[in-house]
Amino acid sequence: MRWVRRGHSAYVGFPSRLLTWTACDEGFSYMTIAVVGAGGQLGRDLCAVLGAGAAPLAHADAELTDGASLRRALEPLAPDWVINAAAFNLVDDAETRADEAFRVNALGVRELSAVCRDLGCGLVHYSTDYVFGLDAERHEPYAEHEAPGPINAYGTSKLAGEHFVRALGPRHFVFRTCGLYGLHGSGGKARNFVETMLRLGKERGEVRVVHDQTCTPTYTADLASATASLLKTSAFGLYHWTNAGSCTWHEFASEIFRQAGMGVKCLPITSDAYGSRARRPRYSVLSTARFVHLGLGAPRPWQDALGAYLDARARKPLTPIPSPHAHFGEP
């Protein structure tokens, strides 16, 4: 498929001109893609992949929990698609701030879904591997058709958001993903698991990381590219998408230090010893077979994605912002 630039409209949100695109061989015409939460690490990578076709909307442009705000931002654009990259993703904080987590991850998504329905545009939304976790004996990747079972407030709020999107109608994509990290950190503040490990390794020379949670860390640039590929299809519905393979957080941290050439001592600890407020799934690896079956390409291994991130980071260094505790990179 070849996409051709056809024109431009007003500046929206970020100072990058919105240009519309059409796909030459499948009848798409003048596609406009609004990105809600464009200031975050995934949102920025989405805008980079979509290029001039993206209409970036930061928090100041559109408040996810305010339907009137969303409508004011989106109506003038008349977008073909809205991508929601905004979320309350502080997993431990959600245990004591569940009202806020549900207001953003569930009720806010309901507001956005309603606006998209009224405007007649499709919606892309991101969910999490944390919709699973009830099966403590699980050792096989989860497929989309399997029953979810979250074990924390964050996962429950994200699952509720999924249901609102899927009630919108046929034109939607819901991505469940895991362990996101990207060059722009969280809100551009370089807060993700990779950055946290690099900072702690440099400061302490020794870190303790849980070894009894298995998942698949995912590079936001890769997820953004997968999203763009799926937008060129009409295969609407729910998809699992992560980088390939799986590891524990301890194995991920060890690989970060190895690839970064840092002689950091990485000690394994249990989840109980770490003492997080929120329970995490012991196993939450997602099967990407449904996406791969579409012929859009298989995700690259998480080790290769990490290497690409570190290479890109070296070309464009970030200044880490100290955080009070290590987040496990949840989406």
For 134, counting Cβ atoms within 10 Å of its Cβ (0-12 exposed, 13-18 middle, 19+ buried), the class is: exposed
Count of beta carbons in the 10 Å neighbourhood of residue 325: 9
- Let me know: does 40 contact 88? Beta carbons within 8 Å: no
Coil, helix or strand for 36?
strand
- Let me know: does 5 contact 28? Beta carbons within 8 Å: no
Per the residue annotation, which of 154, 239, 283, 309 is the catalytic one? 154
Count of beta carbons in the 10 Å neighbourhood of residue 316: 8
Give the C-alpha separation, 224 to 216, whole Å: 16
Residue 321 φ/ψ, nearest 5 degrees: -105, 120
Alpha carbon dihedral 17, 121, 70, 41, in 10-degree steps, equals -60
Q: Indicate if 154 belongs to the active site.
A: yes
- 104-108: long-range contacts, CB 8 A cutoff, minimum separation 24: 104/64, 104/65, 104/157, 105/154, 105/157, 105/158, 105/160, 105/161, 106/157, 106/158, 106/160, 106/161, 106/164, 107/65, 108/64, 108/65, 108/161
Q: Which residues are catalytic?
A: 154
